[in-house]
Amino acid sequence: MSAHNLTFEDWDQFVANAPPNQPEFESVQALWYIAPESAELRLEELPACPKEALLIRSKFGALSRGTESLVFRGLVPESEYQRMRAPFMEGSFPFPVKYGYANVGQVELGPPALIGKMVFGLMPHQSRYHANPQDVFMLPDGVSPERAVLAANMETALNAVWDGAVGPGDTIAVVGGGVLGCLVAYLCAHLPGAKVTLVDINPERAHIAQALGIQFALPESAPIDCDVVFHCSASATGLASAIACAGEEATVLELSWYGSTPIAAPLGGAFHSRQIRLQSSQVGHISASRRPRWTYHRRLSAALELLVDARLDCLLSAPIDFDALPKQLPELLGSHSSELCCLIRYP
């Protein structure tokens, strides 16, 4: 069930009969990136909730370490200012911006059937917010509020698997054992007979791979002659490893986003003679193989359903209190951080 299951008649009846809303304004806290490597919590006035909207109190959120580390450092290229806007972002690049797209909250005001329900939304880091019913998704049975923060990453992984056109029996390497890489490998491992290896420079990722039922290798032991390789490490050395894993006429699917950082692509050696294909994958576009039939709403709903497996909890870090987030960001988003999904807990 999702908030989208309400019929137009049900919603119209609720709006017509809804009692007066909350006080004209209430104070909420929101995280703003205000300068390179600087963020703060700002007190904002949230107006009374419109009758046609939901009032939601945030319970959990997550940092997207890849994208948000670039936002945090002011490394979003000017050419991408519009394309890289999050769905409900405020402000403008480079600074100040209210950014983020992983929020799980509890409905406090809306149709009686939804009061108390937990929902996922692509919302910035903020303590309470309004949302139209079509912009949030009720959590499926068996998906905990904490695990549901992975929905945006799972949506990206699902789209990447479609772009990669992997199939049963394929030999697949995923280079980069962050959240996205782990989720891509997890999905590929469900293909019958597929041989899936997660490749990472951090040997501690081996126990994550094991928990998810995936093989693990350091770059020097990575498989070769793979049918499809996914690159998720956001580094030039990782891209070189991904190309080295690719077999004759195989595809290397690039999921990393480098922002304004130039990357040397190793296109010498056997890259041309083996006719390796290097292709990008980006969640802003539904994969061409699904585009005629799938909507963004359907894809995100499917991503939430795919989070029912409790083994995915191994990707979640110990929660960080929202109030402590500005001081913790340099460490959480630093290049030496070993955290996977940086879980945020709201009061």
> Which DSSP string do the residues of 266-317 spell out, in sequence order?
---TTTTTTT-EEEE--TTS--TTTTTT--HHHHHHHHHHGGG-GGGGGGBP
Both 268 and 226 in a single domain? yes
Confidence band (pLDDT; 50, 70, 90) for 242?
A: very high
Q: With 80 as the cut, is the pLDDT of residue 343 above it?
A: yes
Q: Are 344 and 322 in contact (CB under 8 A)?
A: yes
- Could you report the per-residue pLDDT of 124-165, keeping only the tens digit for each? 999 999 999 999 999 999 999 999 999 999 999 999 999 999
Q: What is the rounded end-to-end Cα distance, in angstroms, of the chain?
A: 27
Q: Is 43 exposed, middle or buried (0-12, 13-18, 19+ CB in 10 A)?
A: exposed
- Which residues on adjacent β-strands are paired with residue 343? 62
User: Same domain for 157 and 141?
Assistant: no
Examine the fold and report which residue of 260, 280, 300 is the final residue of a domain before the chain moves on: 280
Residue 13: its pLDDT value, please?
59
130 in any annotated domain: yes
Confirm whether 203 is domain-assigned.
yes
Question: What digits encode the pLDDT tens for the residues 294-314?
Answer: 999 999 999 999 999 999 999
Is there a domain that residue 200 lies in? yes
In a domain, 286, yes or no: no
- Is position 184 within any domain? yes
Kindly state whether residues 8 and 142 are assigned to the same domain. yes
Domain end: 252, 280, 308, which one?
Answer: 280
Same domain, 18 and 88: yes
CATH code, domain carrying 187:
3.40.50.720
- Average of per-residue pLDDT across 6-13: 54
**Residue 205, CA atoms < 13 Å, CB-side half-sphere:** 27
Shared domain for 30 and 92, answered yes or no, is yes
Look at the chain and report how many structural domains it folds into: 2
Residues 39 and 162 in one domain: no
Q: Is 303 among the domain residues? A: no
- One domain, residues 201 and 184: yes
Residues 138 and 162 in one domain: no
339: pLDDT confidence band, cut at 50, 70 and 90?
confident
CATH number where 44 lies: 3.90.180.10
Asked if residue 254 and residue 210 are part of one domain, the reply reads yes
Does one domain contain both 135 and 164? Answer: no
Q: Which among 246, 211, 241 is positioned nearest to 226, based on CA atoms?
A: 246
- Residue that terminates a domain, selected from 280, 303, 331: 280
Crossing angle of helices 151-164 and 296-305, rounded to 10°: 110
Same domain, 125 and 10: yes
Helix (H, G, I), strand (E, B) or coil at 336: coil
Say whether pLDDT at 252 is over 80.
Answer: yes
In this predicted structure, what is the pLDDT of residue 8? 46
Query: Residues 262-289: pLDDT tens digits?
Result: 898 889 888 999 999 999 999 999 999 9
Whose CA is closest to 280, among 252, 249, 299? 252
Domain assignment present for residue 225? The answer is: yes
Concatenate the DSSP letters of all residues of 201-216 into one string. Answer: S-TTHHHHHHHTT-EE
DSSP classification of residue 25: E
State which residues form the domain around 37: 3-146+316-345
Q: Based on the fold, state whether residues 61 and 123 are members of the same structural domain.
A: yes
Residue 42 lies in a domain: yes
